[in-house]
Each structure stands twice: as structure tokens, then as C-alpha cells.
Structure 1
Amino acid sequence: MGKSLRGDVQGLRAVAVLVVIASHAGVVWLPGGYVGVDVFFVISGYLITGLLLREVATRGSVSLAGFWSRRARRILPAATFVTAVTVAVALSWYSLIDARQVAEDAAWAALFAANLHFARQDVDYFASDLAVSPLQHYWSLAVEEQFYLVWPLLLLACVGLARLGRRGRRSRQGSVPRGVLVSVLVAVAAASFTWSVVHSADAPAAAYFSTLTRAWELAVGALVALVPAAAVRRMGRWPATLLAVVGLAMIVTACVVLTEATPFPGYAATLPVLGCALVLLAGGGAARPMTDHLLALRPVRVVGDWSYSLYLWHWPALVLTAGLLGRSLTAAETAVAVLVTFVLSGVTYHAVELPFRDGRPALALRVRRALVLYPASLAVVATTCAAAWWWTGERADGGDGPAITAGVDEDVLAHPEGTVALVRASVDAARDRKAVPSDLSPDLLDLRDSIADVGACDYATGVRRLCPRGDTDAERTVVVIGDSHARAWIPAFDRISEVGGWRAYYLVMSQCTAAHVVVAPVREDRPFTECGRFQEWAGAQVEMLQPDLVVVTSSPPVNGVYDGDTRYEALDRVVPLLADGYDDLFADLQDAAERVVLLRDVPKSSYDPATCLTTGSPDLGDCSFEPLERSRRLADVAVTSARLAEVEVVDPTPWLCYQGLCPVVVGGTLTYRDTDHLTTEYAASLAGALGRTLGMLDAP
């Protein structure tokens, strides 16, 4: 690899960023355009290793300060600028609760740990709807920065090890220990690829962001850089052209055939990764492949030059615009957002990137001085985030409304009729356009975090064990079965079990409806096989436990139901399949449990109450909602099936709604954390009403 930046490399960067933008913009014939990120990883591994090898060859070692200084000037200025602007725009356009989340994401991005942050949240990278962070794409920068931190240290260790092995033998001071480096890289690549395949199948969302599942892609680029120049120079023009064409064809094929449903990276990533490696290898010889004429065209090279800024800007441009409009973008709106991306990228490249690479700032920030960019970047982002945190807190604390009361004693509120009375009073307050209470539980800005704790038994992570809760020494046993809607009721059942003397087990798994049907995960077009396996395991546990009571509560399938290999979303096809699934479920449970109860699913809103309550200056009436008809009809399917099976039904709707209107604040408690999940605080407040209705608070 020569010292000057090769035209084909810049062309590859252009291809990579364009397919990423196209994929995220919804170009239907490039569903796998996200593999452009993998191309970037291979290029990074190739270029960085080449730079380090040349330094070892000329100086005998690597200046870590010099290397990290160059990386700081290259990466930090543009990344910091885009981060700060994104937070500022989110404060202007988003709800307070979403703006604060963006500020939190920015802090992780500044620490180059965004991939760990989003993996921990089990975020779906492909879901470009309003819940997606405009800084989510910084995960790939985090992976690269972690590579920049570790690889020079590992390379230096290999150089030192090779010199120890040559002690006593004559050798050139600047010789590169290619054999040692190849052995290390092959071992790293093999381990990483194996983990990538395993982890992508078991936990695809977390695997997508993982450095460990991506390390092999960077290692492949590094291995290409280690191919001796003499070996590549022997390659003629036609063999080099054939190699480059095959490589480009592999990248294009990946963009066309891979989809959001493909477990990734895993095996699927070999197409773009090896394809990119072939193109880089083909361009390393003296005889240039004919594809270079295309990749080195001036417009293509300009896009390649701008590729870093384009990558930084494209995702915020798409996501923030959707946030401003409050809906998904149309094709015309997407085109405008992409055009704005190119304008912003051109300005950022010339006004931010180039000055810090070659201009006066670069001259002033030689070697060790440039390292100050790391703390400076952190300081800028920290200041921006702190200001956003303070501002959102001030705005959220601006209410002065009193809590709603029903004029009944606290003891009465712990009974079903008292809860109904408070809900009616809250609906009346909403219809009278009363102010939102100032002292809310949970705190308004903590609403999204109001998620019931499942302890060590988070079955979505693959755990398969029982975790008794409540009164663990009790003789009576209750099992709660369902999905995330069942999980939301855990605070109520915890209180009921502790007071009433029940040992409780919560066999709940997010997105996995209780009915014995094959569903698809949210935003994926594939059978949710993990759900089927969990249902079988949960059924076996109920049969083993022989509980006194089983409570079933579950959301209807949100992404359709499979009949054979075909997924159906239309109600006329989903209803009979769902009914059969509930029939099978209740039949199995009645054989294993003394008593089975269906807790009807809660009403669902068409909009997010959290967003409504933290946008503008809403009153209680602005954010109250009428239940979605589709959700109501599918909940009726479970009720009908339960009654036909002579299973008891408990309907919580009167504890949430009155005369067709559902308030998002009951008394002083926020009822929903999003469109369809109860807050832990409100669920806990319903323990008395639910426990008495189920008869669980009666003496055994």
C-alpha cells in the first residue's frame, strides 16, 4: 500500500456510505445496504495496519502518542460538532423526555461506548421510527475507536515478542514480524467470527453492536495489509480486474439479498467483508484493475472524501426530521433530508475536518498537543448534555396542578370500587382540562424507565430457570404467564403475594404472546422461534409446579401470526389463528393447574403519553386517549376463548378508563410508560383491587 491515499479506497468509502444512506432512507432494492458499515471496518483495519507497519519498518517501533494524536484530529472534531448540534436540535424539536434521552446517548457517544449502551438497551438498529436515537449510528465509531486503542498496543507486543525470539540472531531493526502478526490476527479473527455466528443467532440485537462480533472484520482488513507487496505486484491487470469485479459483486449482492431479518453479522457478513478484502487486494499491485477508473472518478472520490461527514449527518437528518413531523417520512421528505445531509457534510468536511487534518489547527496540534482533543471533546459534549439535562428538568418541573382525588378514604382506594371512583374523578378532571399534577409518580422524566424488574429470570436473554418471588415459603403458588404486558403487572403480584401468602413465578418474555401461535418479532419478517421454545419450557414448568393459580395476560401479536410459512396481519386471518392458540393454551393449563384466570389485556393508546406530557404545555385532557379498536378486538378473542373454556376473566379496564376515555394520570400516578405498558407505580397501586378480585388476599 502506497503512502498516498488510493483512489480505489476512496471509491470504496463512497460505495459504503452511499449504500448505508440508501438503506436507511428506505430504498427497497437495497435492504442490505447496512453492510456498508462492514466495508468501512475492513478499510479501517487495512489502512490503520498499513500505517502502523510503515512506522515499524522505518522507525522500528510505533509512537502511540503520534498515532492517537492523528486519530484524534481525524475523528473528534466532526464527531463532537455533529453530536452537539444533534442534542441542540433534539431540545428544540423533541419532547422533554426524548430530548433528555438523546443527551444521555450523546454522553455514551462521547465516551466511544455507544455500542455498549445500545446493546444493553437491546435496541433494534433497523427501526428508523420515532423511538430511535438520532445518535444510534455512533455505535460503529465506538467499535473503531476501541480498535484504535487496542490494535497498536497488540502490534507493539507482537513486535517485542518477535525481537525476543530473534535475540542473538542478526536482524534488521525495522523488520516487520509478519509471521507473528498473521498468527495473532488469524486467531483473533477465528475467535471473533465464531462468536459472531453464535451470538447473532442467540441475541441478534446485541450482537449487531458488539465489538467482539465485529473484530474479525477489522482483522481481515489488517491481514490484507500484511500481504507482501512483492506478491501483489506480480498480479497482472486482468487478474486484478477479475478480483476487484468479484469483490464488488459480493458487496452489491449483500446489499440486495440481505434484509433486516438476516441474523447479522454472523455468516452473512462474510459477503461484504471478503468482497471488500478482494477489492483492496486487487488495488495493491502495480497493474491497476480496470474498476479503478470507476472508483477513482472525481465525483466518487469527493463522496469518498466526505464519507465520514456523510455518515455522521445522514442518520440525525432522517431521524430528527421524522421526530419533528411526528411520523415516518414520505419519499419526498426523505429525499430532502438526504439532500440536506450532503449540504451539511460538504460544509463539515471543508470547515471542520480539513482544518484539523491539514490546516492551522492541525499545525498547532502536533503529536502530544492533539491528545488534548479527547478531553476537549468530552468537555464540549458534557457541557451540552448538562445544559440539556438542566433545561429539560426545569421545563418538566413547571407544573403546579394538585393531585386528583375521589373524595374517599385511603382504605377504600385499595378496593376495586375505590379504584374505579378515582379513575372516574381523573376522567372528569381530563374533560375539564385540569392542569397536570406537579407531583407525579413516577417522575415525568423517569417515565420510560418505569419497567418491572424480573431479577435473574429475564427469559428474553435465554435464561431457563425458576425465580420464586413473593412469600417464597408459602404453600400456595401462583404463576403469571405472558409477554411484556404480563411483566408490567409484576409489581402488583409482588405486593399481593407478600401480603396474601403466595409463592409467585413470572414466566414472562417480551414480544412472546401467551397464546400458542407462531408470531414474528417486532419489525422482523421471520418466525419468532425463540418464543415457541420458551412457550414449551414454560408449559413444562407449569406442569411440574402444579400451581394453585395461573394468571394469563398478554398483548395480541403486534407483527402478525404465521400459518405455515405465511405471515398474516389482517384481522380476518389473525383472529381464528389467535383463537385456536388460546384454546390450546387454556386446555394445557387446565390440565396442570387448579385454577386458571385470564387477566384481559389493558387498553392501548394510538400515541405515546410520555411524549404528549412532555411536549408543549399540555393539560390532562390533551393526553387522555380512547382505546385502539384493533387492540380491543384482539383482546376480545382471548376473552371469548377463555369463556368457552370456562376460564375466569378479570377485566382491568374500569381501573384504567371510564366511559371510553383513559386518563394518563390517575390521582397523582402516571398510568402508562408508553402506548400500552403500565408503569410499575400504577401497577403496584392496583394490588389491592386486583388481589381482592382474584381472591388472592383471602386467608387460605
Structure 2
Amino acid sequence: MNTITVANPKPFDPLDETASLDAAATTRALGPDVLRALAILLVMLVHLPAEATPLPLAGIRPYGWIGVDIFFVLSGYLIGTQLMAEAARSNAVDFKAFYLRRAFRILPAFLLVLAFYTFIPSLRDAPTMQSAWRFLTFTANFGLDPRFGATFTEAWSLSVEEHFYLVLPVLVVLLKRRATVVFIAFLVATIVMAGMGLRFALWQNQVSPAAEMHAYRAALAVYLRDVYYPTYNRLDGLTFGVVLAAIRLFKPLLWERYMPPYLALGIGGMFVTAALVVFSVRGPFAETNLPLVFQPLPGAVVGFPLFSAGVAFILGALLDLQPRIGRWHLPAISGIATLSYSLYLTHKGVYHLDQMVFGKDNLQGLSGFVIYLATCFIVAATLWFLVERNFLILRDHLMPRSNRTS
């Protein structure tokens, strides 16, 4: 893998989580870990009921869904770096090795959690659940109506990731010799503009009729099903992450000259702020009490690319600042980042278990929040140590480090 230079002389592998949590804290790049930790904490917060949310976090909670978009940018950058570096180095992409690596990384923990939900219905965090084959084929995000399949809905983003894994290696191979700066810029602009246009059309044709009839809960379900969940509407974060990877790999001097870290932080901050302002504009839906994940037309169309571009600038700045911030000892950040996948898979189910064990009335206020956090991290750490880590060690044994990049 094209490694990221850090202060620590040990090579940095941003997707390698086979070491202990303490070791991970000393070998991982802090910048991506800060974003990864922020992303999972936001996602965990948005799925926490309002009554169990401490007052200082109440204003942040409605925006927690943007954590998924941070994950998309990170994934686009990390996987894009891996594949493009391999193609540049060997003039090819080892598809078999790539998909095996991804399978060892993604499937074991995912399949175990899915098995619990499938075979032990009492563990389900909602009364309804999609058929298991939708999860197994990673098509859960198409036609996903939470009114008829609300259990394990967080798997929608894993479906998006899997589709990304299928397409990007092929795209890298096809473009490795023919790509020019102008062509890539045109391709990126086309993807972003097509996403904006498609979300606009779907909102107008699918969501608007329900909203105009004041059937707001139906409008929310249609928005999630047709606009928010489908892969073709959620390419912004992945695209900007890949663009960042391409610039830093193939035009590093250009990035260094025109985008010093503090300028990139400033631009990224402005983009993120602009996106949050757009997301906050509720218009005629201000009094409907719909969750902020439901976006009126402006947010649904331009909010996603604005936010994703901002996160990409911030990620680029943090990578450049790594020689400085890498000296900071923040094991909690790296620990949260290491557990982020297990936390993502289990946090909704854990809160459901908390309700069963402690009772809903005992999960309110600060005490409920502490119980939620503690149980989430206990379950995630258990899943990581028993499943994730062991399968990554097995992957390393079967696929030596010299033959793998993540």
C-alpha cells in the first residue's frame, strides 16, 4: 500500500486493525482516526432516543446522521489510495487479492451480527426486518422502507460500500492509461451533477406528493427509501475521497503548493459549515417535527456534495499535519476508531438490549447515556477481539503483508 508518512517510523496502514488497541494508538495516523471516531460517535448519538441524550448533546444529536458521510469520504480516500497505488506500481490490480482482503475485513463480524438478528428475533431493535437474502446480497439499501424493515437498517451503508468495492477496481483498471486531468475532472463533475439532478427529480416526483398532502411520516419513509439510501444517490462522499487520493498520489506537489493544511482546513470548514446551514433550513417542514435526516429539496440536492467536499479538504489537511499531530498521545481516539466497525454494527441492537435489561425508564438522562456508551463499547470490544481481530490475523497469515495493501 502507498503508506502515509508519519512521525513514527513504523509504516502506517490505516485499515490494519490486527494490533492491540494500545498498539493501534501508537501506529495509526491521528487525522483519519479523529474523523473516524467522530463519525461513529455521531452515528451512535443519532440513534439514541432524545430522552437519553444529555442536554449538551441535544443540539448535536439531530445532525448525527452526517457521520455516515464522513465514513464515505474516508472509505473513498483509503480504498482509492490502495487501488490507484497498486495500479501505478504494478500496472494492474489484483482483483482476487482485493476482494479477499475486503471479505476478511467486512464479512465475519457482519455475518455474525446478521445471524443473531435472523435467528434470535428477540434481539431485533425493531419489530420488522428485511429478508436475510437482502443483507447477504448487499441489496438492503434498495427499496428500504423503514416502516416495513427497520431492524439492522444501518446495513444500508455497508451495501453502498460493497457496490463501491465492486466498481472502483474496474474503473481504476479502465482509466489507468487513458485518464487525463481534464477527463477525470469531467467524470467527477458528471457524477456529482448527476447525483444532484437525480435527487432533485426523485424528491420532486416521489417525496413532494406525500409532503403536499401533509402525510409527513410517509414523506419521510419515501425520502429514505428513494433518496437517502440508494447507492446511486450517495456517491458524493466516496467520489470526493477518491479524488483526494488521486491528487495526493499523482499531483502531490500541486496539492502541497496550492493547498497548505491551514488553507485546506479553512476551505473544508467553510464547506462543512455551508452544508450544515443548508441542512438546517427546514422551510415548510419547520413545524413537522420530522428528524433532520429528512432533507427538504435544497439540502437533499446540494447539501451532500458540499459536506463531502468539506470533509475531503479537512482530511487532506489532517494528513499533511500528521508529522505535528502524530506526536499527540490520544489513545482514546485511536481506540474508538479501531472499534468503529464493531460499534457501527452493534450499537442499535445494544440499546435494544439495554431496554430489555435495565428497562426504558432507567435509560433516561445522563445515567441512561452512560449505560448506553458503556454497553456499546463492551459489546464492540468483545466483537473486535473475538471476531474482527482474529480474522484479520488469519488474513495476514494467508496473505502476507507484502501481498496485501489493507
TM-score by length of 1: 0.43
Q: Are the counterparts in 2 of residues 93 and 323 from structure 1 also a CA contact under 8 Å? A: no
1:221 counterpart residue number: 241
1:74-153 to structure 2, matched below 5 A, reads 74-91=105-122, 98=127, 101-102=128-129, 104-118=130-144, 122-123=145-146, 133-153=150-170
- Structure 1 residues 179 and 348: CA distance shift in structure 2, 3 A: farther
Deviations 1:570-622 (A, max 9, x none): xxxxxxxxxxxxxxxxxxxxxxxxxxxxxxxxxxxxxxxxxxxxxxxxxxxxx
DSSP-derived class of the 2:81 partner: helix
- Structure 1 residues 275 and 84: CA distance shift in structure 2, 3 A: same
Q: Are the counterparts in 2 of residues 317 and 338 from structure 1 also a CA contact under 8 Å? A: no
Q: Are the counterparts in 2 of residues 196 and 214 from structure 1 also a CA contact under 8 Å? A: no
C-alpha separation in 1, matches of 2:261 and 2:124: 54
1:222-237 to structure 2, matched below 5 A, reads 222-227=242-247, 228-234=251-257, 235-236=259-260
2:193 counterpart residue number: 190
2:372 counterpart residue number: 337
Deviations 1:125-150 (A, max 9, x none): xxxxxx76331110010011011111
C-alpha separation in 2, matches of 1:94 and 1:304: 24
Aligned-pair CA distance for 1:323: 7.2
- Structure 1 residues 150 and 223: CA distance shift in structure 2, 3 A: same
> Which residue identity is paired with 1:154?
L
1:205 counterpart residue number: 224
Q: Are the counterparts in 2 of residues 73 and 362 from structure 1 also a CA contact under 8 Å? A: no
Deviations 1:107-163 (A, max 9, x none): 311211110141xxx326xxxxxx763311100100110111112112222235x1x
Q: What is the percentage of aligned positions where both structures have the same residue?
A: 25
Aligned-pair CA distance for 1:247: 6.2
- Structure 1 residues 135 and 254: CA distance shift in structure 2, 3 A: farther
Q: Are the counterparts in 1 of residues 275 and 304 from structure 2 also a CA contact under 8 Å? A: no
Aligned-pair CA distance for 1:105: 3.7
1:159-178 to structure 2, matched below 5 A, reads 159=176, 162=178
> Which residue identity is paired with 1:312?
L
Count how many residue pairs are aligned between Structure 1 and Structure 2.
Answer: 337
C-alpha separation in 2, matches of 1:191 and 1:356: 39
2:31 counterpart residue number: 8
Q: Are the counterparts in 2 of residues 233 and 284 from structure 1 also a CA contact under 8 Å? A: no
1:292-371 to structure 2, matched below 5 A, reads 297-319=330-352, 321=354, 330-331=364-365, 332-333=367-368, 335-357=370-392, 359-364=393-398
- Structure 1 residues 289 and 245: CA distance shift in structure 2, 3 A: farther
1:239 counterpart residue number: 263
C-alpha separation in 2, matches of 1:53 and 1:94: 39
> Which residue identity is paired with 2:118?
V
Say yes or no: does 1:58 pair with 2:108.
no
Q: Are the counterparts in 2 of residues 32 and 256 from structure 1 also a CA contact under 8 Å? A: no
- Structure 1 residues 351 and 214: CA distance shift in structure 2, 3 A: same
> Which residue identity is paired with 1:199?
L
Q: Name stretches of at least 5 consecutive residues in structure 1 with no aligned partner.
A: 125-130, 163-175, 371-700
C-alpha separation in 1, matches of 2:65 and 2:164: 20
Say yes or no: does 1:36 pair with 2:59.
no
C-alpha separation in 1, matches of 2:92 and 2:124: 50
Q: Are the counterparts in 2 of residues 78 and 348 from structure 1 also a CA contact under 8 Å? A: yes
Aligned-pair CA distance for 1:241: 4.8
1:280 counterpart residue number: 315
1:427 counterpart residue number: none
DSSP-derived class of the 1:134 partner: coil
Q: Name stretches of at least 5 consecutive residues in structure 2 with no aligned partner.
A: 5-11, 15-28, 208-222, 283-291
Deviations 1:636-657 (A, max 9, x none): xxxxxxxxxxxxxxxxxxxxxx
C-alpha separation in 1, matches of 2:327 and 2:309: 22
C-alpha separation in 1, matches of 2:353 and 2:203: 29
- Structure 1 residues 269 and 18: CA distance shift in structure 2, 3 A: same
Aligned-pair CA distance for 1:91: 4.3
- Structure 1 residues 52 and 256: CA distance shift in structure 2, 3 A: same
User: Between Structure 1 and Structure 2, whose CA radius of gyration is higher?
Assistant: 1
Aligned-pair CA distance for 1:63: 1.2
1:463 counterpart residue number: none
C-alpha separation in 1, matches of 2:45 and 2:117: 21
- Structure 1 residues 299 and 265: CA distance shift in structure 2, 3 A: farther
Aligned-pair CA distance for 1:254: 8.0
Say yes or no: does 1:156 pair with 2:155.
no
Deviations 1:414-440 (A, max 9, x none): xxxxxxxxxxxxxxxxxxxxxxxxxxx
C-alpha separation in 2, matches of 1:157 and 1:313: 37
Q: Are the counterparts in 2 of residues 214 and 265 from structure 1 also a CA contact under 8 Å? A: no
Aligned-pair CA distance for 1:288: 4.6
Determine which structure has the larger strand proportion and give its number: 1
Aligned-pair CA distance for 1:180: 3.8
- Structure 1 residues 92 and 149: CA distance shift in structure 2, 3 A: closer
C-alpha separation in 2, matches of 1:365 and 1:83: 26
C-alpha separation in 2, matches of 1:310 and 1:24: 12
- Structure 1 residues 232 and 135: CA distance shift in structure 2, 3 A: same
- Structure 1 residues 308 and 53: CA distance shift in structure 2, 3 A: same
- Structure 1 residues 116 and 321: CA distance shift in structure 2, 3 A: farther
1:72 counterpart residue number: 103
C-alpha separation in 1, matches of 2:280 and 2:397: 44
- Structure 1 residues 107 and 244: CA distance shift in structure 2, 3 A: same
- Structure 1 residues 256 and 33: CA distance shift in structure 2, 3 A: farther
1:202-601 to structure 2, matched below 5 A, reads 202-203=206-207, 204-206=223-225, 207-227=227-247, 228-234=251-257, 235-236=259-260, 238-243=262-267, 246=270, 259-263=292-296, 265-285=300-320, 287-288=321-322, 297-319=330-352, 321=354, 330-331=364-365, 332-333=367-368, 335-357=370-392, 359-364=393-398
